[in-house]
Structure 1
Amino acid sequence: MPPAATIVGMGRSFDELVAEAEAAPVDGWGFAWLEGRATEQRPSWGYARAMARRLAEATAALDIQTGGGEVLAEAPTFPPTMVAIESWPPNVARAAERLHPRGAVVVATSDEPPLPFTDAAFDLVTSRHPATVWWAEIARVLRPGGTYFAQHVGPGTMWELVEYFLGPQPEAKLARHPDRESAEARAVGLEVVDRRCERLRAEFHDVGAVVYFLRKVVWTVPGFTVAAHRERLRELHDRIEREGTFVAHSTRTLFEARKP
């Protein structure tokens, strides 16, 4: 989400805000629509810049779950072989439009392993906010000495939103824990050489921002629809009107793992 904003949704009706957010396109992996409606702190490590430095030194790289290619496109230099994969058709089209002119190959894939590449095909594999991490496949397609560099969504992300709509979820809150992910990486033979985790503040300034976010980041509240959650949304609108904002928190984990 945007790191800072001038609030634009104040004073508008519940029905107007929700209808606008329902109609907004959610393809791609950019969050520009939330400008002026929501803010989220950024991790201190600067993932896109760090990824770009590694891409500049690589010979063959794979970006997993690239979305519309927005983050990958920030890198000024691609290696001689640059491949991006994505499963959602609207995102595949946007990624191809953005990345093909720079010589990158965009591959449409399923949401299930295996990755459609031969063993030891890449010396760098990257991913920003993968929905799932296929550690065994990442290890398989990495060359010896190759690196997996990624920013993961950490445990308890946006949990205030999750529990507002779904109620207490104590078991699910432990998912994506960095200790568990590190153990999974080591189990397939990767060496974790760097791991950092930060908790970050997010603010939603109108109910439309919440609707848009939940439509786009679909795993936050699985099965979310405006129709199914309209009364809770109306209550949330009233709360934001009273308090000025709805505060949630995300966690992010930076991973760097190497194949011996």
Structure 2
Amino acid sequence: MTTPRTFDELVAEAADAPVEGWDFSWFEGRATEERPPWGYARAMGERLARASAALDLQTGGGEVLASAAELPRLTVATEGWPPNVAKATALLHPRGAVVVASPEDAPPPFADGAFDLVTSRHPVRTHWAEIARVLRPGGTYFSQQVGPASAFEVVEYFLGPQPERTRSARHPDAARAAAVAAGLDVVQVRTARLRLEFHDVGAVVHFLRKVIWMVPGFTVEEYRDRLRGLHEQIGREGPFVAHSTRFLIEARKPAA
């Protein structure tokens, strides 16, 4: 019989694990998340195969873009975090894609009408007016985004109850309105609420170190008591269950 790993062992391992990129293989056997029904990576790949010039905003480590079977002749990705820029460059340059280091809050540094497809998976912020600017007439923006109150069971375990304005941020209705205000035609919006399970406290630590906006400034030292309590709760009750929210939005720039 395997001896259960101690709190200190689980936390120390998670605190030392690398967090760059959007590779979530570290969670295998330790956490599970239900996937959205629309299959973003597959649907993105289909659109990339039909595009002539594509831009992937906030690409992370480039893993999702690199999963496409075929990339357009002109493919550009932007990323703001230096470790991710290096990882994306190593992954995407062999595919002929260019990686541009650009802060996530900065407008994309490209000419008007440069791309017929702009994609983004889980952007921190969507610059709708700038997306409309860099799209060619008839071009498409295709994005999977984090929805309102996503994984807030985790957030509120550490931070306590959140105000309604925080819980309702990132709502798909607001994204739809912003797209229309930028002059884009919304083709589709789909939403999903997905089950998320953490099987040990180390998975929670790694999640909060990787998704840094969930509990801003998270450190093991500051939250050690809450983490120990969570470790004991999981031991008594089983996996810690949360629910992530996602929405898919596709918008098109009207043809000239």
TM-score, normalised to structure 1, is 0.95
CA distance, structure 2, for counterparts of residue 145 and residue 119 of structure 1: 13
Question: Which residue in the other structure is 1:196 paired with?
Answer: 190
Q: Which amino acid aligns with 1:226?
A: V
Question: Cα offset for 1:10?
Answer: 7.7
Please report how far the alpha carbon of residue 112 of structure 1 lies from its aligned counterpart in structure 2 after TM superposition. 2.1
Work out the CA distance in 1 between the residues paired with 2:178 and 2:3: 45
Q: Look up the equivalent residue of 1:151 and give its one-letter code.
A: Q
Q: Which residue of 2 aligns with 1:217?
A: 211
Q: Any stretches of 5+ residues in structure 1 without a counterpart?
A: 1-8
**Structure 1 position 239, deviation (Å):** 0.3
In the alignment, is the contact (CA less than 8 A) between 2:144 and 2:248 conserved in 1? yes
Give the counterpart letter for 2:29 in structure 1.
G
Check whether the contact 1:166–1:221 (CA below 8 A) recurs between aligned residues: yes
Indicate if the aligned counterparts of 2:113 and 2:133 stay in contact, CA closer than 8 A: yes
Matches within 5 A, 1:42-191: 42-169=35-162, 170-191=164-185
Tell me the SS of whatever aligns to 1:193: strand
Q: Gapped runs of 5+ residues in structure 2?
A: none
Contact 1:28 1:70 in 2 (8 A): yes
Cα deviations by residue, 1:29-74 (Å, 9 ceiling, x for unpaired): 1111111100000001000000000000000000001011100111
1:23 aligns with: 16
Structure 2 contact 105–125 (Cα < 8 Å) conserved: no
Percent identity of paired positions between Structure 1 and Structure 2: 68
Letter in 2 for 1:12: R
Aligned to 1:138, what secondary structure does the other structure show?
helix
- Answer whether contact 1:10 1:206 (CA < 8 A) is retained: no
> What SS is found at the alignment partner of 2:100?
strand
For 2:230 and 2:21, how far apart are their aligned partners in 1?
A: 27
Three-state SS of the structure 2 residue aligned to 1:76 is: coil
For 1:203 and 1:42, how far apart are their aligned partners in 2?
12
Q: CA deviation at 1:99?
A: 0.6
Query: Corresponding residue for 1:259?
Result: 253
Task: Provide the C-alpha distance between the structure 2 equivalents of 1:15 and 1:53, rounded to a whole number of angstroms.
Answer: 45
- TM-aligned CA deviation for residue 113 of structure 1: 2.2
Residue 13 (structure 1) shift = 0.5
Contact 2:104 2:124 in 1 (8 A): no
Aligned match of 1:232: 226
Separation (CA, whole Å) in 1 of partners of 2:69 and 2:86: 21
How many equivalent pairs are there?
Answer: 252
In the alignment, the residues of structure 1 paired with residue 64 and residue 172 of structure 2 have an alpha-carbon distance, to the nearest angstrom, of: 22
After TM superposition, give the deviation of residue 11 of structure 1 in Å: 1.3
How much has 1:171 moved relative to structure 2?
A: 2.0
